[in-house]
Structure formats: structure tokens, C-alpha cells
Copies of this chain bind each other. A is one copy, B any other.
Amino acid sequence: MTTASTSAPRWLTDEEQHAWRAYLHATTLLEDHLDRQLQRDAGMPHTYYGLLVQLSQAPRRRMRMTELARNAKITRSRLSHAIARLEKNGWVRREDCPSDKRGQNAVLTDDGYEMLRRSAPGHVEAVRQAMFDRLTPEQVSSLGEIMRVLATGLEPEGTDADLPWLR
């Protein structure tokens, strides 16, 4: 028999282990770096900033809660808390959805848009300096392809996968 619980574990090769370790180091350090940059320059963590960016790019600068959670790859609960905080800051407001009385739209306010406009250059510069200025065009292309593969694998289409925004 060859069930997962009894077959010998397929350990990682040396190269895989090194890649995995490097992945963990880089992602942890980058997340920390951007969180600090944004906390300093925009007064919020990276996740929250990403929500504002999503809203700024959405039609009429608004989006249904679940849709926003899906785009940000987070749970609806986490989003509820985040929007509550951003609302307190005056950068987002809630609005009832006209077509579905259960629904809420998160709307980017003018203040929110303005804060984004001010902080975007610094943030792009931080991302560029940490990532894109250090990689060759081939590496950027390769990284994009790899990350698309991983994201797709973790978010398979048409399945009942355990995805954050469905919990």
C-alpha cells in the first residue's frame, strides 16, 4: 500500500532545502521591511495599504467585501477588522449594496485617495529597491512565472479548496 501516512517521506534535496530556506528568509525580511516602511510613511501595515490600492483601482473606487477579500487573499473576518480601522482613519467608508441587502461596499474616500497619492511614490521606491533593482529582466520574468504557478496551485479553479475568503 502507498497511502501518505505509511509511505516513506520524500524529503527535500539539498538544493530544494536551500531554495526553501532562502524563500523563507527573503519573504520574511521583505514583509518586515515593507511593513515598517508603510507604518512609518503611511501609518498602516502592508496588508491595509494593499486594500486601499485595490479600492483605488476598482471601478468607482469601491468593492464588495468578499470580492476585496478574494483579491487580497485574506479572510472576510480579517477584512472586517481592517476596514473598521481604515474607516476610523477616514480613508474608507462602508456603503450598503443596492442589489443585495446583505452586502457591503468598501469605498475609498477622497482622504484615502489623497493619502495613497502621497505615499505611493515612496512605497514603489521601496519595492523597487528591495526587488526589481536587484534582479535582471530575465529573473523578473522567471519570478513572475514561478509565482503564478504557485498561486494557481494554491487556488485551483472550480474546486472546494480551503481558501481564506470562503471560510
Interface positions of A (Cβ within 8 A of B): 4, 9-12, 15-16, 18-20, 22-33, 36, 50, 72-74, 120-122, 124-125, 127-128, 130-132, 134-135, 139-151, 153-155, 162, 164
Tell me the complex Cα distance, A29–B74, Å: 8
Of the candidates B23, B128, B145, B162, the one whose C-beta lies within 8 Å of that of A12 is B128
CB neighbours of A139 from chain B (8 A): 142, 145-146, 149
Find out whether the CB atom of B125 lies under 8 angstroms from the CB atom of A4: yes
A-B contact pairs, 9 of them (CB 8 A): A12-B132, A19-B144, A22-B144, A23-B144, A25-B73, A26-B151, A30-B150, A139-B145, A142-B146
The verdict on A73 contacting B28 (CB below 8 Å), with A36-B162, A139-B146, A142-B142 known, is yes
The verdict on A22 contacting B153 (CB below 8 Å), with A12-B124, A27-B27, A29-B73 known, is no
Find out whether the CB atom of B121 lies under 8 angstroms from the CB atom of A150: no
Q: How far is the CB of A14 from chain B (nearest CB, A)?
A: 11
CB neighbours of A154 from chain B (8 A): 26, 29-30, 33, 130
Of the candidates B28, B144, B149, the one whose C-beta lies within 8 Å of that of A15 is B144
